[in-house]
Amino acid sequence: MKIIVVGTGFVGLPHAAVLSEYGHEVYAYDIDHKRIKAYKSGDREEIERYVNEPGLVASVAENMGRYLFFTTDISEIVDGTDAVFLCLNTPPKRDGSSDLSYYLNAAHHLAELLANREQKNRVVLVNKSTVPVGTARLLENIMEEHGVENFGVASNPEFLAQGNAIAGSRRPDRVVIGADSEEDFGILRRVYSQFVNHVRIRYLETTPETAETIKYMANTLLLTYISFWNGVGGRMAESVPNIRMEDLKLGVTSDDRISTWGSYVSNGAGGSCFGKDIQSLIYQLNNAGRSTDLLQAVYNINEYQKTYIIDRAVYEAGFNFNQKTVALLGLAFKKRTNDMRDSAALKVVESLLARGVKAIRAYDPLAMDDARDFWFSPDKNHLFDRITYHASAKEAISGSDALYVSTDWEEFRGLSRTIEMTVKPPFLVMDGRRMIPDFETLVKAGYEYLPVGGTLLKAKAESQKRDNGKVPSKMASELETLA
Ligand code: UGA
């Protein structure tokens, strides 16, 4: 099949690479010349600057020039194309709706080219990135407006998690195709022939509107589940001494109907998808005049979760951040990525600065350059000068009064020794990811430990532990306001 993939970001590039592995002739197209130049170079560092996914560089290297081609001009290629996948960025707007400007520009450009093609073979235009319900229909209208002949539209949402894009594309749990005609389903069956009738992969054919809704529901349900653990399991274990979070997880998720994924309490779920998608779904349901109470609560719980532990440090541990130095470990929204979009660390930094910290000493194994770009850009205010960047966790911790662990990087698991070797108590450890399983040794040595999903622990703390059975009244009223 001859395939064009429009947009070569986190969704488009891995998709194009894996399609080319199956012997399709794939043209990966982007208007960003720098990106295309980087991909064409085949150089690992250049490619990973844009999309950092295990297995991606090898796949690109293997297929480039044979089955995979990069271009900034598709005018010559549209003739004879069977399918065009639209993989464009649809960032959230302030009101929660999706900014479709990149998408619409690409759709109109494509429509003009398709309207003037010589070969009038059937071509299917497929929405791959997450777009509001009804966008396939919108795409159909755009094509008709430009006089495109013999085309179909489809929705084929991607369900990949970052860090697993290549493995996930080679072996998805499901392929969802929403289209209008047997002819278009037929074309996509040939594109995805390796997945049709697969014993373990569900291949679902439905309407475009259903496919679009499946994606929003899937992401929103996952976030609802995470918020349930943070907002219920976490709160119980943070309020009542002697609740063991790990046992709570095991006991509840031993039911086959309840997943372990999503049950690790955290300082909130970040990334480019969950927050954006739930906001968009709220916007879409509001537009339809429907209640969004559940989704609004899920969103609020998740956003507040990102800085909740800082409020607990103030109200439960009595920590005064004013003029203190805080080490911040982990900037990316999850381990194994440099992506900081919607990351808890962004809100943590804002909250710490607002509380008057003297300095924030940051470290992340992958996201340091992105963080520098983010916080150093000229339009950011001078408060961001208080952030310094360090080469290791140890260096960041050195000279600090407190530590905040924000990302679940595996290398942070050995932190208790690093802490003991680097700083003397009094020292407060805020663990937003429960990364310090041997916290007891720390506490015995006099450090204070405040984890998500657990009470404040400090040496000689029997009375303290009892007091923590109650949520401090000031905090209780803050939580009520939030609710
Ligand atoms: C998410 C979905 O998992 C994918 O299925 C979906 O295709 C994708 O969005 C998308 O729409 O493109 P992703 O954003 O890459 O994937 O990240 P996840 O691995 O799902 O993690 C999201 C956030 O939840 C992270 O901050 C993670 O640390 C957090 N999380 C995850 C928890 O706080 N607790 C958990 O138990 C699991």
- pLDDT digit string (tens) for the chain, length 483 residues: 999 999 999 999 999 999 999 999 999 999 999 999 999 999 999 999 999 999 999 999 999 999 999 999 999 999 999 999 999 999 999 999 999 999 999 999 999 999 999 999 999 999 999 999 999 999 999 999 999 999 999 999 999 999 999 999 999 999 999 999 999 999 999 999 999 999 999 999 999 999 999 999 999 999 999 999 999 999 999 999 999 999 999 999 999 999 999 999 999 999 999 999 999 999 999 999 999 999 999 999 999 999 999 999 999 999 999 999 999 999 999 999 889 999 999 999 999 999 999 999 999 999 998 898 888 766 667 778 899 999 999 999 999 999 999 999 999 998 999 999 999 999 999 999 999 999 999 999 999 999 999 999 998 744 444 445 455 555 554 444 443
Task: State how beta strands 2-6 and 25-29 pair.
Answer: parallel
| Alpha-carbon gap, residue 397 to 422, rounded angstroms | 7
| Alpha-carbon gap, residue 452 to 313, rounded angstroms | 11
- The ligand 1 site (C-beta within 6 Å) comprises 130, 158-162, 219, 222, 226, 261-264, 266, 269-271, 273-274, 333-334
CA-CA distances (angstroms) from residue 5 to 39, 78, 125, 448?
14, 11, 10, 52
Rg, the chain, Cα only: 25
Residue 10 bridge partners (DSSP):
none
Ligand 1 centre and the CA of 267: distance in Å?
A: 13
First to last CA, the chain: 52
Give me the sign of the Cα torsion angle 243, 244, 247, 248.
positive
| Alpha-carbon gap, residue 278 to 285, rounded angstroms | 10
Ligand 1 centre and the CA of 288: distance in Å?
A: 27
The CATH class that applies to domain 2-206 reads alpha beta
Task: State how beta strands 174-179 and 202-206 pair.
Answer: parallel
pLDDT value at residue 467: 47
pLDDT value at residue 472: 53
Ligand 1 pocket check: which of 220, 259, 334 to mutate, most ligand atoms within 8 Å of Cβ?
A: 334
| Alpha-carbon gap, residue 271 to 225, rounded angstroms | 16
Ligand 1 pocket check: which of 53, 127, 128, 160 to mutate, most ligand atoms within 8 Å of Cβ?
A: 160
| Alpha-carbon gap, residue 451 to 312, rounded angstroms | 10
Provide the residue count of the chain: 483
CATH architecture of 214-483: 3-Layer(aba) Sandwich (3.40)
Beta-carbon contacts of 436 under 8 Å, excluding residues fewer than 6 positions away, are: 405, 412, 413, 415, 416, 429, 442, 449, 451
407 CA: nearest ligand 1 atom: 28
Beta-carbon contacts of 480 under 8 Å, excluding residues fewer than 6 positions away, are: none
| Alpha-carbon gap, residue 325 to 316, rounded angstroms | 19
CB-based contact 72:36 (threshold 8 Å): yes
Q: Do domains 2-206 and 214-483 have the same CATH topology?
A: yes
Catalytic residue flag (residue 273): yes
Helix pair angle (293-315, 274-287), 10° resolution: 140
Tell me the three state secondary structure of residue 98: strand
Ligand 1 centre and the CA of 130: distance in Å?
A: 15
Ligand 1 centre and the CA of 32: distance in Å?
A: 27
433 CA: nearest ligand 1 atom: 33
Residue 430 bridge partners (DSSP):
404, 450
Dump the DSSP string for 250-270.
HHHHTSTTS-STT-S--S---
Beta-carbon contacts of 100 under 8 Å, excluding residues fewer than 6 positions away, are: 90, 131, 132, 135
223 CA: nearest ligand 1 atom: 24
Q: Return the domain boundaries, the chain.
A: 2-206, 214-483
- For the record, the structure tokens of 201 come out as 């992969």
Ligand 1 centre and the CA of 367: distance in Å?
A: 17
Q: Which one of the listed residues 6, 47, 226, 273 is annotated catalytic?
A: 273
pLDDT value at residue 383: 78
pLDDT value at residue 466: 41
Q: Give the number of other CB atoms < 10 A from CB of residue 335.
A: 17
CB-based contact 351:325 (threshold 8 Å): no
Nearest residue to 131 via CA among 71, 189, 85, 183: 85
Nearest residue to 388 via CA among 398, 379, 309: 398
- The model's pTM: 0.93
C-alpha 64, offset from chain centre: 28
